[in-house]
Structures are given as structure tokens and as C-alpha cells.
Amino acid sequence: MATVELASVRNPSKTSANLSLFYLLFFLSGFPALLYQIVWQRALFTLYGVNIESVTMIVTVFMLGLGLGSLAGGRLSSHPKINPLLSFGLIESSIGLFGIFSLSIFHRVGELTAGGSAIATGAIAFGLLLIPTFLMGSTLPLLTEHAVRSTGNVGESVGLLYSVNTFGSGVACFAAAYFLMRILGESGTVTVAFIFNLTVGATAVLLGSRKNEHIRQTATGQAAHPRLIPAPAGILLAGLVGFVALGYEIIWYRLYSFTSEGTAKCFAELLGFYLIGIGYGSLSVRDICRKPQMNSGILLWKTSQIVLLGTIISFLLGPLLARFVVHFPYEPTYALVFLAASLLGAAFPLIAHLTIRAGDDTGKNVSYLYLSNVIGSTLGSFLIGFVILDHVSTQITSTVLLCVGFAIYLVLFHLSRIKGKVAALAMASAAFLALMLFSRPLYSGIYERLLLKSHYSQGTKFASLVENRSGVIAVSTNGIVFGGGAYDGRFSTDLVNDSNGIFRAFAVSGMKAYPTSVLIIGLSSGSWAQVVANDPTVKDITIVEINPGYEPLIRNRKEVQSLLLNPKVRIITDDGRRWLVSHRDRKFDFILMNTTYHYRANTSNLLSREFLLLMRRHLNQGGIAFYNTTWSLEALATGIEVFPYALRITNFLAVSDSPFTLDKARWREALTNYSIDGKPVFDTSNPGDRKRLEEVLHAADLSDDSGNSESRESLMKRLTNVQIVTDDNMKTEWR
């Protein structure tokens, strides 16, 4: 039996009430922590880009700060004179004080450092996020020490703390997705988080400042169990569980994002169900850890079964989602995310329970396990999202994680030393081998089902499918391109039989006399770039594309393959906004963006007032920017607010600092003489082509809001009360 020092326990009901309040505070602290994570990451993505290098670096730095904070919290908790609750209150208050000034700090630093290399981005992000994430990471081991003094049970304390804090973060995800980000934007959401921090911090300081009577009491339960998992093995297992859990979350997000067309709230919803599942799993093992009569070997064996089942469900979630969406909306399948996360979430407190003894520097030892779990989670995110998925398919990646999960099961099963469970081991091994053997048919056609849904027919296959760390690109048999599950164009430069609105790309030659230098943000099928590249007045084209997966597709399509050999053209793999920031001296006669749907995640980075002002600085005198608003009234209103001259052409908006028109006569002359790869666009001897030419030229005729073209004056009249898009409000994304 071990002795531990407890807060006043003379009145058990009073102790229980105090602990309930204590857990409530930790639940509330999880709410602002997740809000900060969502807002801070989004703010840094705006500054440093949403290309995979920047995203991975920022997420990794965030997790690294939590891990370092865990170590510090563990060491702090072992100090005999430290009051954990008082320290927690001061930490929460400090996080809040940083939080309320965080966005202004990020933007100030970002203006000076944006556009740097990946290493520079990582170093800057580390400096910006180190203090708040360090403080956040320190709270779990610190409070575990306080809770164990009252319960005498590591598993119960870790499970409850991990659970309530994760529940708070899960609730924050849903709040952010459904109303906070939409109504309050980044700055308003940070203010809400600040209020929560100060409320929790002040309450904890008041409670921790009370003069409590301390007594020695014998702790039963946890101390009665031998330490079945050696500390090094426990640390390794905690890391591997984190690796599997985060690795599968990366895969799930890719699949859900693809089937939802990459909507902004999809990630928040997925993360919400994932965190609620983790929290429920941690909470559900509390009663198991409370039973001193349970044989520790049996408990370890049960842990192995939980990990195995969680891994199997995680592996099957993708194929089940793909088959479900053929008949129903995808949202009900979040229940599977919850279930898989619950099982994997239960593993951490169980491993802690079987590795650490109460009173044996509990907080410090928990910090080692938590650090390992954070490192494993970071590696899961980094290796799966940044490395493995860049080289192998979703199916193979899921199978790799299945193997890691089965290895964890075998280690836990071996450590349990339970006899008579050979049948269970045989069944588990058979299930594992069956999933390995049938992984290919299980994952076959997964992206076809996710995209086509109710229109899917058995045996339907994409003509091409590219999976890399930047996302998934699919090409249908009729040449339609889908980037991340959303329509992204078509391999066609045919203006006579215009199936992809390509006349808008040809409009460049009618708006700007002799545009010699052109910037195109976004490559996709290359069709638009091919049109511009064949304009004889254009001498230099810079194309910035975030996903390198489009180039090999273009290389195999006769309509556009010559683009890659055109000496005018230079293709750069980068985030468009990030590239503009890092090339401040580059200016262009024309900037073209066939921007994706305004409601997709991060699209407002290319539609906001701040971005348009940035783009404006990169235009030569008389230069024009021409971009797709995808019929968003907010995007249209933002363009005419930033630029003094504008013209809407269908769903595109052309803007400039100088007067311009879509000159019908100049456009007619250009189109009559236009050729692509030596083939004329129009055969003027053909009556059908001449008729089509007149139809295209009709886009130059100004009309009201129902017509092809609309003046800035008309736009201003009908968009008077429409809010503009800013980096802060992200107006088009969170509807």
C-alpha cells in the first residue's frame, strides 16, 4: 500500500463536490484551447500559405509545444510546495492574456516574415506558438497530480481529466463550425476564448488559494496493482497509440473532405466527433480502473482487445463511408468516427493506469506518457500526411496503420501473460490476415463512390486518379477534372463547343491590349493556361499551382500537353498568396484566377479584401485581375470595394486601377485570328463557327444583373448591403 497526500478528505461528499468543480474547470479550459488552435492555425495559414509544407510545419510546431509543456508540467507537479490548482489558474489566465493579443502579434510578425522557406516558417511558427502551447501542454500532468492526491487512482484520474478536457475541445469544434466562426470571425472567436480562459483561471486561483487542511491517507486500489507495463514499454505504447489514432484521422479527413467537396465546416465536424469519441473512451474506462479486485492481467488483456477493435473499425471506416454515401448523406457515418476514436481514446488512460503507481511522482510520469502520445500523434500526422500519402495510396496507408495497431495488440497481449486465451489470439490474427488480404477490394472504387454518390454505378472507374500529400485529383472518362472532390475544370480548349466556360479565358485578349506578362494562380487541367499561352501578344506566363499532381495529367492529354513545353511558361508549385508575398517585386499586366467554389475551406484566402490589396500591388499600371467569384455576392462586393474599376463577365470579375472595357472590336479581331497549337479556334468559312463567334462576342454587351456582363455601377447598386470578405470574417466559408 502506498501513501499519498490528499486534499481534505474528512468529508467524502465535500471532496467529491470539489473534484466535480475541478473537472468542470478542466472541461471549460478545453473549450478555448481548441478555439485558439482553429483560429491560430487559420491565421498562420493566411500568412504562410496553405500548401502542405506550411500546413504540416505549423501543425507539427503546435504539437511540439504541447509536448514540451507536458514535460514542464510534470516536473512542476513533483515539486512539494507547488499548489497544482493555483498553478493551473495562473496558467489559464496567462494563456488568455496571450490569446487576446495573439492575432495582432501574428499579423505583425507575419508581415515581416511571410514568404520565407519551410524551415524559416517552422522557426517563426515555433516562436509564435511556443509560449501558449507550452502552457496548454503543462496542465494535464499538473492536474493529474492534484486529482491522484484525492482519488489514489491513476487510471481514474487520467481518464477523467483527459476525458473532460477533450469533451470541452469537441464542443468547441461544433461551436466553431456552426456559429462562432460564421458570426464572430477570427477576432471574435479569440475574444470568446479569452473570456473562458479568464473565468476558468480566476476560479481556479480562488479555489487554489484557500487554506486546505492536508492529511496523510492510505490510498488503495491503484497501488494494489503491480506495474504490469514497464515504464519504457508504456511510453512506447502511448506513442504508438497516438500514431495510429492521428494517422487514421488524416485519412478520414481526406475521405470526408473529398465527399463533401472540401467545405470549411467538414474538418471542424470531423474533429468534433473525433474528440468527443476520445473523451468518451477515456471516461468509459474509469469504472474499470476503480476495481481493485480485477486481475491486472485481465485488465491488460482487455486493453489489447480495445486497441485491436479500435484499429479494425478505423481501417474499415473508409470503405464503409464510401458504400454508405451511395445511398445516404455522409453525416451519419460520423458515428463510426466517434466509435473508433472512443476505442483508441480508451487506450491512453488504461496504459497510464498499468504503467504508473499512485503517489510515485504521478504527474511527472504521466507527463512522459503524454509527451510520447503527443510525439506519436505528431509523427502520425507528419509521416502519414506529408510522407507516406505522397508515395502510396489510401488503401496501402490504411493497411500500414492496421499493421501498427495489430503490433500494439500483440505487445499488450504478451504483457498480460493470460493463459487460456489462445483462441482469442487466433481469432484476432485471422481477422487481421483477412483484412490484409481483402484490403484491395475493400478500398477499390472508394473515390468513385465518394464523388458520384447516388450516381455511382458498379464498376465505374476514373480515367486517372492522383493521390499525393497535397490531396486527391480525379479525372472522369469524359475529361472532367475533380480536385479534392470538387469540379475543377475539363480538358478542353474548344470554344465552338464550349463545355467548360473557356470563353472567359479567351476574354483576356479582349480586355487588355497586348498583355505581355501574365500570372495565373491555379493550373488544374491546364486548359485556361493553354489558351493564354497561345495568345501571340503574351510573352511570359508564370503559373503558381499548389498541387504538383496536375502536371503528369496534363502531360498525357493532347489538348494541353504542349503547355509544358512552351518556352513562355514557367510552372511553380506553391500557394498563390504565399508566392505573391515572397515575390514583392514581381508585377504583371494580367492576373488570372479560375478560383474554386467560394464555400470551400481556405478559398477566402483568395477572395478577401487583404488578398485583393496584395494582388493590386502586383499589377502594372493599367493591369487587370480577372477571377472567379463562383456567383458569391460577397466576393463581388469585395472586388468593387477594393478596385475603382470593375466588370462582371458571367461569374468572373475583372478589376483594375485604370479604366478598361471588354472591347468587342478588339476581341473579334483576336478571336478571328486565334489558334491553339496551330489550329484556328474558329473556321470563319463555316456558318456554324461564325454564329458561335457572335454568341461569344455577346458577352461584351453590358446588361443588367441577369446578363453576361455587368458594370461596376450596376454592381454597386444591387450589392449595397452585402458584406465584404476579409481574412478575419472569412465570409464565404462558414455558412
Per-residue model confidence as pLDDT tens digits over 556-581: 999 999 999 999 999 999 999 999 99
**Are residues 226 and 296 in contact, defined by beta-carbon separation less than 8 angstroms?**
yes
| AA letter at 437 | L
68-106 in b/e burial notation, b at 16+ Cβ within 10 A?
Answer: bbbbbbbbbbbeeebbbbbbbbebbbebbebbbebbeeb
C-alpha–C-alpha distance, residues 319 and 315, integer Å: 8
Q: Which cell numbers hold the place of 332?
A: 451519419
CA gap 149, 147 in Å, rounded: 5
How far apart, in Å, are the Cα atoms of 727 and each of 113, 172, 178, 607, 661?
Answer: 18, 21, 18, 9, 30
Average pLDDT score over residue span 485-505: 96
Q: Answer whether residue 348 shows pLDDT above 60.
A: yes
pLDDT at 360: 60
pLDDT for 3 equals: 36
- Check if the beta carbon of residue 336 is closer than 8 Å to that of residue 319: no
The more confident residue out of 725 and 42 is 725
Q: Is the pLDDT of residue 530 over 60?
A: yes
Is a pLDDT exceeding 60 seen at residue 674?
A: yes
* Mean pLDDT value of segment 459-486: 96
List residues bridging with 624 in a β-sheet: 590, 656
Between the alpha carbon of residue 387 and those of residues 50, 231, 239, 380, the distances in Å are 17, 30, 19, 10
- C-alpha span between 620 and 579 (Å, rounded): 17
| pLDDT for residue 60 | 79
Beta strands in 599-718 (DSSP E): 619-628, 645-649, 652-656, 675-676, 679-680, 709-711
Q: Does the structure show a pLDDT above 90 at 529?
A: yes
Q: What confidence tens digit (pLDDT) does each residue in 4-28 have?
A: 333 333 444 444 556 778 789 999 9
pLDDT of residue 118: 66
- Classified as helix, coil or strand, 620 is strand
Per-residue pLDDT at 56: 75
Cα 506 to Cα 100, 496, 681, distances in angstroms: 48, 12, 10
* Structural contact between residues 473 and 465, judged by C-beta atoms closer than 8 angstroms: yes
Pick the residue with more confidence: 453 or 150?
A: 453
Statement: residue 179 has pLDDT above 70 = yes
What is the number of residues in the chain?
A: 735
For position 320, what pLDDT does the model report? 98
Contact 4, 359 (CB under 8 A): yes
Return mean pLDDT, the chain.
Answer: 89
Strand 652-656 relative to strand 619-628: parallel, antiparallel, unpaired? antiparallel
Secondary structure letter of residue 114 according to DSSP: T
What's the whole-number mean pLDDT along residues 466-490? 96
Rounded to a whole number of angstroms, the CA Rg of the chain reads: 29
The answer on pLDDT for 407 being more than 80 is yes
What percent of the chain has pLDDT above 90? Answer: 68
Amino acid at 418: I
Instruction: Give the pLDDT band of residue 296 (cuts 50, 70, 90).
Output: confident
Residues in contact with 599: Cβ distance below 8 Å, sequence separation at least 6, in sequence order: 263, 264, 732, 733, 735
Per DSSP, 502 falls in state T
| pLDDT tens digits, one per residue of 588-600 | 999 999 999 999 9
With cut-offs at 50, 70 and 90, classify the pLDDT of residue 220.
very low
Instruction: Express each pLDDT in 249-276 by its tens digit.
Output: 999 999 999 999 999 889 899 999 999 9
Q: Order of strands, edge to edge, in the sheet holding 588-593?
A: 569-573, 540-545, 517-521, 588-593, 619-628, 652-656, 645-649, 709-711
Which amino acid type is present at position 339? L
Burial category of 585 from C-beta neighbours within 10 Å (exposed 0-12, middle 13-18, buried 19 and up): exposed
Q: H or E element: which one contains 248? A: helix 231-259
DSSP state of 684: T
Q: What order of strands is seen across the sheet that includes strand 486-490?
A: 464-468, 471-475, 480-483, 486-490
Which one, of 557, 382, 553, 572, lies nearest residue 483 by Cα?
A: 553
Return the DSSP state at 328.
S
Residue 493 has φ and ψ, to the nearest 5°, of -120, 15
Most confident listed range (67-76, 119-128, 647-656): 647-656
pLDDT bin (cut points 50, 70, 90) of residue 248 is very high
Query: Residue 57 corresponds to which cell in the numbers above?
Result: 510545419
Most confident of 120-129, 208-217, 366-375: 366-375
Q: What is the DSSP letter of 514?
A: S
Give 69's contacts (C-beta < 8 A, 6+ positions apart): 133, 134, 135, 136, 137, 138, 139
pLDDT at 660 over 60: yes
pLDDT at 358 > cutoff 70: no
Confidence of residue 215 (pLDDT cuts 50, 70, 90): very low
Q: Which residue has the higher pLDDT, 244 or 162?
A: 244
Residue 359 pLDDT grade (very low, low, confident, very high; cuts 50, 70, 90): low
Quote the pLDDT of residue 555: 96
pLDDT band at 222 (very low <50, low <70, confident <90, very high): very low
What pLDDT band is residue 218 in, cutting at 50, 70 and 90?
very low
Tell me what the mean pLDDT of segment 468-488 comes to. 96
Cβ atoms 255, 318 nearer than 8 A: yes
- In this structure, the strands spanning 569-573 and 540-545 are parallel
Confidence band for 337, pLDDT divided at 50, 70 and 90: very high
Helices and strands counted in the chain (H then E): 26, 16
Confidence of residue 2 (pLDDT cuts 50, 70, 90): very low
Question: Residue 226: what pLDDT?
Answer: 55
Instruction: For residues 600-629, give the mean pLDDT.
Output: 96
Domains present along the chain, CATH in parentheses: 2-443 (1.20.1250.20), 495-718 (3.40.50.150)
CA dist 405 and 333 (Å) reads 22
Measured in degrees and rounded to the nearest 5, phi and psi for residue 125 equal: -60, -40
The grid coordinates listed for 646 are 470593375
- Smallest CA-to-CA distance from 367 within 639, 134, 530 is with 134
Sign (positive/negative) of CA torsion 629, 576, 174, 89?
negative
**What are the residues whose beta carbons fall under 8 Å from the beta carbon of 351, sequence distance 6 or more?**
229, 234, 237, 238, 241, 303, 369
CB 531 within 8 A of CB 502: yes
Taking 50 as the threshold, does the pLDDT of residue 330 lie above it? Answer: yes
Q: Is the pLDDT of residue 213 over 70?
A: no
Residue 504 has pLDDT above 90, yes or no: yes
- Lowest model confidence (mean pLDDT) among 143-157, 232-246, 267-281, 509-523: 143-157
Closest CA to 652 of 536, 500, 505, 479: 505
Cβ within 8 Å of residue 210, ≥6 positions away: none
Exposure of 491 in the CB half-sphere (CA atoms within 13 A): 23
Residue 215 forms beta bridges with which residues? Answer: 6
Beta bridge partners of 600: 263
pLDDT value at residue 616:
98
- Tell me the pLDDT tens digit for each residue of 37-70: 999 988 888 878 887 777 777 777 888 888 888 8
